[in-house]
Chain A
Amino acid sequence: MAKYDLVIVGAGPGGSACAKIATESGLKVIFLERARTPGEKNTSGATIWGNIARTIHPDFPAEAPIERTVDGGRLFFVPEGTDWEKGGYSLLGVSSPHKNVSDPLNVYRNIFDKWWAEQSVAVGAELKTKTLVTGVLRDADGKVTGVLDENGTKYEGSIVIGADGINSIIGRMAGLRSAWGSHENCLCCKIDWELDEKLIDDRFGSSIDHGNDTGILLEIYFAQPMAGNAGYFWIFPNRGSLALGLGIVINDLIRLEHNIWWYMWNSINHPIVKPKLKGGQPRSYIAHCIPLTNPIGPSGTLFKSYGDGIMLVGDAAGFVCPIDGAGWCGAVIAGRTAAEIAVKALESGDTSAESLKRYEKKWVDGDLGKNLKLGKDMADWLIHDSGGINVLADQFTRDLASMMEHDTSHEECIGGSIKRTIKNAQEWMAIAKPMRMLLGPYLQLFSSIMR
């Protein structure tokens, strides 16, 4: 049986980040991936953040497979019954000069994740693909001592990291948490829409030349009947294709008249969207769930992200912003944090829950925990004060710009708008008042996402 310091399950952003940092610190690391190559089953948009990537790869994005630099975004609020012919919809547009601070970049996750994992392999971590982990190994006291794959192969490790995504087998097998509830999850589907690079420049470009690419603007639509008042539709441009996505909370799907593909088809055939896709065609489809809840509770965490000989990172631990569903930053921050704690635990020779408790303290007290808490506070505010959505809509569009213009810390990047929105709620309320009617239908949307 192979014996490692660290056995990491999952080669996504969190697992690979953890593998790199731990290996560089001298640990013997293996990370296991069930796909043929990391990222090939991913459904993410996908925007990643350069400033967070640099905490793992200091010279990022040198040689990284980047599709587009994100220079801003547009939010569309389109109430039902809007007269399209007369152009009677609301467009809140933002673009701003990119100043390379928080550095949002669009990537193809099936190419980017492969590259991301290769960087961990390059420093000496062992990657094993096509390997589905089906169980955890325990000693007589119940301490996790490794994992077992579908072929019965055992991987013994002083510490196991569960970075195995939303349907985390490790988290459940280790008894750290149960499966998510239907209110805690969002079903997302994605179409990869092939479109000429030049047409993308014309339709989504910011006109800012970044050397390797022309910058683009993201587009997000809160619109009937795109997501049945229960989710949102997005367009994330890449170099020669668009990632078209739609997410709806599972609980809302249950009450909706149609299924997610119906809403997706209506989104891409929507009069606002259709002309932007013209000349292209769908190339691929995929679907996935995203956890919209996170472990932060009113006092302490709702479930433990650690146990005897084990830590959870990324979607497996629910480290996702409950406002926008972004999880890449959280996964990477947690992966790094888990690696640092693993190094300390192994130095002290104590990998018990008591020792690994430091992991939870570190992420709860750090930027990640602060963000996840802000996300929850924001959710409460949106539900209890029906004006919240108006304020958010207004502030969010401003923040898409200011995130590029100001120094954005890790803390702010996960839920960029959240902190300022709460702080400026009163001020923005006055400004946003005229939008109240327009945004009425979307109160339901936000309260359902936040529930």
Chain B
Amino acid sequence: MMEKFTAEEFEGEKLREKLKDLVEMIPTQGDNIKVVGEKCGGCKLCVKHCPGGCFEMVEGKAQYTHPELCFECGACLLLCPTGAIDWSYPPGGTGVVLRYT
């Protein structure tokens, strides 16, 4: 039978734990993305859908708390309904890379 997984296994801390050993990160400053607090409506879309699990809710607002897993995909920017994501790439030569060996 089809093995079903719960949503919780792929969100937040559990997702980050799964990804940790499978993502190669060239150390970066981690300030490439900011959630503009006053614009954040607290919808949690970025928290749920960021493929690196980089966002967390802090006092009802999303915050970019785990830059170590940012894939620079831009999904948060596209998902955010209130335009609260201030987005840029991390500095050249840093950030997540696809590991080959």
Residues of chain A touching chain B, judged by Cβ–Cβ distance below 8 Å, are: 33-36, 40-43, 84-85, 108-111, 129-132, 134, 149-150, 166-167, 169, 179-182, 185, 187, 189-192, 250, 253-254, 257-262, 265-266, 269-271, 282-289
**Listed stretches B34-42, B58-66, B93-101; interface member:** B93-101
A250, B74: Cα distance in complex, Å: 11
Q: Is the CB of B7 within 8 A of A262?
A: yes
Residues of chain B touching chain A, judged by Cβ–Cβ distance below 8 Å, are: 1-5, 7, 9-11, 15, 18-19, 22-24, 26, 45, 48-49, 51-52, 71-75, 77-79, 87-93, 95-100
A271, B33: Cα distance in complex, Å: 39
Q: Is the CB of B93 within 8 A of A36?
A: yes
Chain A residues lying within 8 Å of B90, measured Cβ to Cβ, are 132
A-B contact count (CB 8 A): 138
Chain A residues lying within 8 Å of B48, measured Cβ to Cβ, are 259
Given contacts A41-B95, A131-B92, A271 and B75 within 8 Å (CB-CB)? no
Given contacts A41-B95, A261-B51, A167 and B89 within 8 Å (CB-CB)? yes
| Interface pairs (24), CB distance under 8 Å | A34-B93, A36-B26, A36-B97, A40-B98, A41-B98, A42-B98, A84-B2, A150-B92, A179-B78, A181-B78, A185-B78, A250-B78, A254-B79, A258-B7, A258-B10, A259-B10, A262-B5, A266-B4, A285-B19, A285-B22, A286-B71, A288-B72, A289-B73, A289-B78
A258, B48: Cα distance in complex, Å: 8
A362, B2: Cα distance in complex, Å: 51
Chain B residues lying within 8 Å of A43, measured Cβ to Cβ, are 71, 73, 98
Q: Is the CB of A270 within 8 A of B2?
A: yes
Partner of A166, one of B51, B74, B88: B74
The 5 tightest CB contacts between A and B, nearest first, are A130-B93, A287-B51, A132-B92, A261-B10, A284-B99
